[in-house]
Chains A and B, each alone.
Chain A
Amino acid sequence: MKKDDELICEGVTRRDFLKTCVTVTAMMGLPFAMHTQIAEAVETNKNPAVIWLHFQECTGCSESLLRSSHPTISTLILDMISLDYHETLMVGAGHQAEKSMHDSMVANKGKYILVVEGAIPTKDNGIYCKVSGKTSLETLRTVAAGAAAIIPIGTCASFGGIQSVSPNPTGAVGVRDIIKDKPIINIPGCPPNPYNFLSTVMYFLTFKKLPDLDNLGRPKFAYGRKIHEHCERRPHFDAGRFAIKYGDQSHAEGFCLYKLGCKGPETFANCSVQRFNDAGVWPVSVGHPCIGCTEPDILFKRAIAEKVQIHQPTPPDTYAPVNLKDKGKGADPLTTGVLGLAAGAALGAGAMLAKKLPTDGDSSGEEKKDE
C-alpha cells in the first residue's frame, strides 16, 4: 500500500484519490466497501477500455443501462470493463475529463470499444452539437479512428432517431452514416433493453469477436425476430380478438393491440421476451401498442395509431394444403376380396347354367310360334 501523501499524479495525492473513489462510489450508489475495488480497478485495470460518447441524445440509454441488475453497472464497470469516459457517470469534468479520454485513447489505441449514444448532426459542418469546443462529427471521427469496434446504443446513434425526423433541420444521422471502416454493432431501441447491450459486450469480451448481425447491423440474438412472432398477445390476434379503444372492455381484456396501431408485425426486437426494468413489463403488456422503436423507418416516422402491413415469413407447411392428395376412402382388401369372390361365383354359375341350357330350343319339342 502506498503512502497517503504520495503523489499519484500532479497535484493529486493518494489520499485525494481515495477520497474521490469514495465519492464516486457514493455517487454511483455502490456500497461503500466497494471503493477499494474501484481503486484497484482503476489502478490495475486490465479490462478493455470503453469510451462512451454522448451527442444528440436524451441520456435515456444510459438510464436504461443503470437499471440493469445482472450484471449491475458496478460489476460492469469494476470487473468487466474500464469505463474511461462517460459524461454522465464519470467523476471528472472539464479539462480533466477530456484528458482522461485522450490518455485512454493513446494507451489503448486500436483496442478500446467506442460506445456512441445520440445522433450526430452533419448540417453546417455539425455545429449543432459541440462538446468541449469540438463538433460531435469531429469527435466521433477522431475517437473512432483508434477504436476496435463501435457500439451505437439507442436508435438515435444507430439510425438518427427523433432528431432525424423530417425536416431533420440539423442533418442528424446515425454512426453508420459517418463511420464506414470500423465494425459497428447497432443496439437500437428507445431506449434499448440494457441486456442487449450488456450481452453484446460480454460476447465480445468472451469470444473476442462480433455476434451475428442482421442487415441493419443489429445482433440477431436480440433483433432476429419480429415482436409479432413472439408476443404473448398473438393468440388474440390469431383468434380475431382486438382492442378497439383505449380503456374499453376489449382493451381491459388484454386483447391484441394491432388495431390500435401496434407495430409489432414490422418490428424486430425482443422486448416481449426480455422485458424491462427486471419487472417483467414492456409496452404491450401494459396496454400500449409497440411503436417500433428499433426500426429506422417506424419510430417517430409513422403515427402510433397507424396500422402496419403484416409481412409473413414463408408460411410453414403446417397449413392445410390446397391439394389434399388423398381424400375419401378407397378400396380395402376385404371388400375387394369379397366382391371378387362374388363376381367370380356369379360368372361361374352363369357359365355353368349356359352350358347346361340346350343350344337349340326347338329340339325340346316346343311348338314353334313364329313372331
Chain B
Amino acid sequence: MAGHHDEFIRLEGKIFTKSFFFLLTLVLIGFFFIGVRYVKGIGAVSNMSDGYPWGIWIAYDVATGTAIACGGYAVAILIYIRNHMKYHPLIRSALLTSLFGYGLAGFSVVIDLGRYWNSYGFFIPSRWQINSAMFEVALCVMTYTLVLVIEFLPAVLWSLENSRGVTIRKVADWLHPRLVPSDDRLSSGLEWVRSSAAWLRPRLDKVLVFFIVLGITLPTMHQSSLGSLLLIAATKLNPLWHTGFLPLLFLINCIYIGYAIVILESIISSSAFKRPIELNELSGLSRIIPWLTIIWLSVRVGDLVYRGQIANALRFDFYSCFFLIEFLLVAGGSIILFSPRMRRSPRWLFITAAMLVLGGALYRFNVYLIGFNPGQGWHYFPSFAELMITVGVVALELLGYQVLVKLFPVLPNPKAHGHGESQHHHKEQNIPHGAVHVGK
C-alpha cells in the first residue's frame, strides 16, 4: 500500500478525551479482576463450572469477537480477490479492528486457559494432536494475528517516516525535563528511525501481497474450525444447532458479519469523529450481504429440514425462541438490503448492519452457550467479575482503536475519494492536508 498514503489520513485530535478516560476506567476494572483470576483461580472470578466449562470468554471474546473482527478478512477478499479497488479506503480501519479483535481474542484465551504455562506445547511437534479442531484454530489464529501485524506495518512505517518527534519530546518532558533529549540527538535518532522505515517499507510492499493472501486463507480455515469445535458435542448441543454443516455455517456467518461490522463501524466512526459517511463503499458492501445470507439461511433451513428439526424450531420453547430470534434478525436485515433505496440510506444501512451483527453473533452464542446443554441440572450465567473482564477487553479494543487512528494513517482521507463536493467539506478544501475538523 505504499503509494496510497494520501488515501489514508491520521485523525487529528486530542488523545486524552472523555471517552478515553471512560474506557480506561473499564479497562482498569477488567484488569483488576484479571489479577484476581491469577491469584485466586478461575472459579473466583467466573461462574464457569464442570457442566459449562466454556463461558462468555470463549463464546464472546473468542468465537463472536473474532467474527466481528472479520471485517479485515471480508474486505480483503473484495479488494484483492474480487479486485474491487473502490473499497480500498476501508481496508486499514478494517485491518485495525481485526488486529485488535484477534489480538484480544488471543489475550482472552490466555486468561481463560487453566494451565497457561504449558501453551508453548503448541510449538512442540511431539505434542501436536492433529485430530483436534482446537489445535488447528490455535495455530491458525496465532499465525493470522502475526499476519495482521505485518499488514498493518506499512501504516506504522509511514508514521515513523513522517514523524517529527513532537510526541517524544512532550512525553519525555512530562516525565522529567532532564530526560528531554537534545535537539541533535533527537534528530539523529529520528533520522535513523526514518531511514530504517524508509528502507523497510518498499521491500515490505513488494511481498505484502503474499501476506495479504495468507490473511485471506487463514481466516477461511480457522473461522470454519471455530464451528468444527462444537462438532464433538453431538450429545450436548441442541439439534437445532448441531450439524455437520457447522464449519460451513460459521465461515459464511463470519463473512457477512465482517461486511456488516465494516458498515457499522464505519458509520459509527464517521458519526463519532464527525467525518463524512463513505456511502458509495458501504452501499456496495451492503449489496453483497443478502446473497451471502441467502446461502447461509438456505443451508441452515435445509439442514434443519433434512434432520427433521423444523418441528422443534417452531415449538416456541426456550431453544426454539432463540433460534427464531437469530433467524429473524439475519433474514430481516437481509431482506431490507435487497432494496437499492434502502442500501443508499445511511439510517437503514446502520439498522440492517446492526441486525446482521446481532443475529450473526447470536448464532455463535447459541452454538457455544445457549444451545449447549450438558444435562443433569447444570446452568450458567456469567458472574460480575467475568462480565467485567470481557467488558474490559472490549473497552481496551475501543480504546486502542481510538488512540491508534490518531497516531497512524488509518481512516480514509475524505478528500482523496470524491467527498470534495459534499457540503460537509467545502471548508476543508482550504485546510492543509491531513487536518480534518473533528469534534472530539
**Chains A, B in direct contact (C-beta < 8 Å):** yes
CB within 8 Å of B: which residues of A? 323-332, 334-336, 338-339, 342, 350, 353-362, 364-369, 371
Interfacial chain B residues near A353, Cβ < 8 Å:
267-268, 271, 350
A367→B387 CA distance, assembly (Å):
45
Asked if B377 and A324 sit within 8 Å, CB to CB, the answer is yes
Choice from A332, A361, A371 contacting B384 with Cβ under 8 Å? A332
A325→B354 CA distance, assembly (Å):
39
Asked if A361 and B279 sit within 8 Å, CB to CB, the answer is yes
Residue of A nearest to B344 (CB): A361
Asked if B383 and A332 sit within 8 Å, CB to CB, the answer is yes
Residue of B nearest to A325 (CB): B377
Q: Nearest-CB distance from B373 to chain A (Å)? A: 12
Choice from A336, A350, A371 contacting B287 with Cβ under 8 Å? A371
Q: Nearest-CB distance from A324 to chain B (Å)? A: 6
Interfacial chain A residues near B277, Cβ < 8 Å:
357, 361, 364
Interfacial chain B residues near A355, Cβ < 8 Å:
347
Choice from B51, B349, B351, B386 contacting A328 with Cβ under 8 Å? B51
Residue of B nearest to A362 (CB): B344
Q: Which 10 A-B pairs have the closest CB atoms?
A: A328-B49, A331-B381, A329-B47, A357-B347, A357-B346, A369-B280, A361-B279, A335-B384, A361-B344, A328-B378
Asked if A329 and B381 sit within 8 Å, CB to CB, the answer is yes
Q: A357-B346, A359-B347 are in contact. Are A334 and B422 (CB under 8 A)?
A: no
Interfacial chain B residues near A367, Cβ < 8 Å:
280, 418, 421
16 contacts across the A-B interface (CB closer than 8 A):
A323-B377, A324-B377, A327-B49, A330-B379, A335-B386, A335-B387, A355-B347, A357-B271, A358-B345, A359-B347, A362-B344, A364-B276, A365-B422, A366-B418, A368-B344, A371-B283
Choice from A327, A334, A362 contacting B51 with Cβ under 8 Å? A327
Judge whether B52 is part of the interface by a CB distance below 8 angstroms: yes
Judge whether B332 is part of the interface by a CB distance below 8 angstroms: no
Residue of B nearest to A329 (CB): B47
Interfacial chain A residues near B421, Cβ < 8 Å:
365, 367
Asked if A365 and B384 sit within 8 Å, CB to CB, the answer is no
Asked if B283 and A361 sit within 8 Å, CB to CB, the answer is yes
Interfacial chain A residues near B386, Cβ < 8 Å:
335
Q: How large is the interface on B (under 10, 10 to 19, 20 to 34, 35 or more residues)?
A: 35 or more
Choice from B284, B379, B387 contacting A371 with Cβ under 8 Å? B284
Q: Nearest-CB distance from A339 to chain B (Å)? A: 6
A95→B87 CA distance, assembly (Å):
131
Judge whether B423 is part of the interface by a CB distance below 8 angstroms: yes
A315→B376 CA distance, assembly (Å):
22
A-B contact count (CB 8 A): 110
Q: Nearest-CB distance from B284 to chain A (Å)? A: 5
Asked if B344 and A327 sit within 8 Å, CB to CB, the answer is no
Give residues of chain B (277-307) contacting chain A, Cβ–Cβ below 8 Å: 277, 279-280, 283-284, 287
Choice from A328, A357, A360, A366 contacting B350 with Cβ under 8 Å? A357
Choice from A326, A327, A330, A359 contacting B381 with Cβ under 8 Å? A330
Judge whether B14 is part of the interface by a CB distance below 8 angstroms: no
Asked if B383 and A329 sit within 8 Å, CB to CB, the answer is yes
Q: Nearest-CB distance from B87 to chain A (Å)? A: 10
CB within 8 Å of A: which residues of B? 47, 49-52, 86, 267-268, 271, 276-277, 279-280, 283-284, 287, 344-351, 354, 376-384, 386-387, 391, 418-419, 421-424
Interfacial chain B residues near A338, Cβ < 8 Å:
384, 387
A336→B386 CA distance, assembly (Å):
12
Q: Nearest-CB distance from A34 to chain B (Å)? A: 73
Interfacial chain B residues near A342, Cβ < 8 Å:
391
Asked if B271 and A335 sit within 8 Å, CB to CB, the answer is no
Asked if B47 and A357 sit within 8 Å, CB to CB, the answer is no
Asked if A328 and B344 sit within 8 Å, CB to CB, the answer is no
Asked if A366 and B279 sit within 8 Å, CB to CB, the answer is yes
A365→B422 CA distance, assembly (Å):
5
Interfacial chain B residues near A325, Cβ < 8 Å:
377
Interfacial chain B residues near A326, Cβ < 8 Å:
377, 379
Residue of B nearest to A358 (CB): B346
Residue of B nearest to A339 (CB): B387
Asked if A335 and B423 sit within 8 Å, CB to CB, the answer is no
Interfacial chain B residues near A364, Cβ < 8 Å:
276-277, 279, 422-424
Asked if A329 and B49 sit within 8 Å, CB to CB, the answer is yes
Q: Nearest-CB distance from A330 to chain B (Å)? A: 5
Residue of A nearest to B279 (CB): A361
A356→B277 CA distance, assembly (Å):
13
Q: Nearest-CB distance from A321 to chain B (Å)? A: 11
A354→B378 CA distance, assembly (Å):
40
Choice from A335, A339, A357, A365 contacting B267 with Cβ under 8 Å? A357
Interfacial chain B residues near A368, Cβ < 8 Å:
280, 344
Residue of A nearest to B341 (CB): A360
Give 15 new A-B contacts, CB below 8 A, not counting A328-B51, A353-B268, A357-B267: A324-B377, A327-B377, A328-B47, A338-B384, A339-B387, A355-B347, A357-B345, A358-B347, A361-B344, A361-B346, A365-B422, A366-B280, A366-B418, A368-B344, A371-B86
A281→B386 CA distance, assembly (Å):
61
Interfacial chain A residues near B348, Cβ < 8 Å:
359
A332→B380 CA distance, assembly (Å):
10
Asked if B381 and A332 sit within 8 Å, CB to CB, the answer is yes
Interfacial chain B residues near A350, Cβ < 8 Å:
350, 354
Asked if B86 and A369 sit within 8 Å, CB to CB, the answer is yes
Choice from B283, B380, B387 contacting A330 with Cβ under 8 Å? B380
Interfacial chain B residues near A362, Cβ < 8 Å:
344
Q: Nearest-CB distance from B388 to chain A (Å)? A: 8
Asked if A366 and B287 sit within 8 Å, CB to CB, the answer is no
Asked if A359 and B345 sit within 8 Å, CB to CB, the answer is yes
Q: Nearest-CB distance from A236 to chain B (Å)? A: 32
Asked if A327 and B378 sit within 8 Å, CB to CB, the answer is yes
A198→B284 CA distance, assembly (Å):
104
Asked if A324 and B376 sit within 8 Å, CB to CB, the answer is yes
A371→B288 CA distance, assembly (Å):
10
Interfacial chain B residues near A327, Cβ < 8 Å:
49-51, 376-379
Interfacial chain A residues near B345, Cβ < 8 Å:
357-361
Residue of B nearest to A355 (CB): B347
A339→B388 CA distance, assembly (Å):
10
Asked if B351 and A360 sit within 8 Å, CB to CB, the answer is no
